[in-house]
Amino acid sequence: MKIKIIPLILAGAAMVSGCEKPETPAAAAPTVSKQDAVASVNGVYISKKTLETLEKEIAERSQGQSFPKEQLLEELIQRELLIQQALQKKLDQSPEVIERMATVKNSLLSQAALQDYLKANPVTEEEIKAEYDSKMANMGEEYKARHILVKTEDEAKKIIEELEKGGDFQALAKKHSIDPMGAEGGDLGWFTADRMVPPFSEAVVALENGKYSKQPVQTQFGWHVILREEARALTPPPFDAVKEQIRPMLQRQKAQTMIENLRNSAKVEVLLPPAELKPAEAKPSEAPAPAASEPASEAQPAAENTTTQAAPATTEAAPAPVEPAKPEAVPAQ
């Protein structure tokens, strides 16, 4: 068979720093009978279990992608050849390798301790449901609103005056708003308050349904006139849809509590000087600040100003007061 080094995850799985499941050197490996072997390399048997373990590791690391068994077996054969070469040259006795193996062993032992604790103290369905209920009980509201974004306070006040006289909000938005959603009558769709910059969200929350802001609202993007159309309670995702996202979070909490208890009951002495534990302070750069960090000119065209600084998020465009998107309503740790 022509030997071909295959680009599997083997290097990451067992041969690099921080590996999780390194192979035991052949000299110390459990005895494998021929009946339980899938291959023999210079008289050393490779067990069926080793192949099964590799198949499982590869499937987990490649998100379910499978590889031909022949390919995986060839990878194990190549690994065994390298192990034998290393042992022949007594590389296992070098200080670097000994230290590396000790690091890997300690990593595996620490993981084993956590896994043993979580096995003895599993996250229950009741705990998951309690966490779900806790997070979903105070999800708050979401709002449907429109806005008109202009450059100056005077412009915003004039628009409010037109609304007081019976002006149509959507028509005024199409005519005056410099926001991309102006063409849609300023429609922002449904959003949660945390999706907006504070002045905008505070104004929306304070309004009643069907009411517009009587005073212009200023944000870093300009001046807004806001119409709150509707509000509704957020609908939580179904329990079954998110419970497997909650489980690992609770497992991390349990593990952290276990480690904190161990830490509190242990006698720990930190020998490094406090100065060495602090992060190094960044030295101020003598180079002039890049032009991109300077304030934008007021003469900058409105189209440029609203391209990167547009308001609350919708599925089509991102108008001005929007902050970076946050994950949907999934319980956070």
For residue 216, the domain's CATH number is 3.10.50.40
- 37 forms beta bridges with 47
Do 246 and 327 contact (CB within 8 A), yes or no?
no
Q: Is residue 266 part of a domain?
A: no
Domain interval for residue 15: 10-95
Q: Structure pTM?
A: 0.53
Q: pLDDT of 218-258, one tens digit each?
A: 999 999 999 999 999 888 899 999 999 999 999 999 999 99
Q: Is residue 64 part of a domain?
A: yes
Domain closes at, from 233, 252, 275: 233
Domain closes at, from 95, 124, 149: 95
Q: Is residue 36 part of a domain?
A: yes
Residue 174 — left, alpha, or beta (φ > 0 → left; ψ -120 to 50 → alpha)?
A: alpha
CA–CA distance, 311 with 191 (Å, rounded to integer): 11
Q: Is residue 262 part of a domain?
A: no
Same domain, 227 and 152: yes
Q: Is residue 276 part of a domain?
A: no
Q: Is residue 243 part of a domain?
A: no
CA–CA distance, 333 with 330 (Å, rounded to integer): 10
Please report, for residues 44, 89, 151, 201, 237, the alpha-carbon distance to residue 6 in angstroms, rounded to integers and kept in the order given.
Answer: 22, 25, 60, 54, 43
Q: pLDDT of 25-74, one tens digit each?
A: 434 456 888 999 999 999 999 999 999 999 888 888 887 777 889 999 99
Domain closes at, from 233, 268, 290: 233
Same domain, 85 and 157: no
Q: Is residue 251 part of a domain?
A: no
CB 224: neighbour CB atoms within 10 A?
A: 27
Q: pLDDT of 98-140, one tens digit each?
A: 999 999 999 999 999 999 999 999 999 999 999 999 888 778 8
Same domain, 155 and 88: no
Number of domains into which the chain is organized: 2
Q: Is residue 297 part of a domain?
A: no
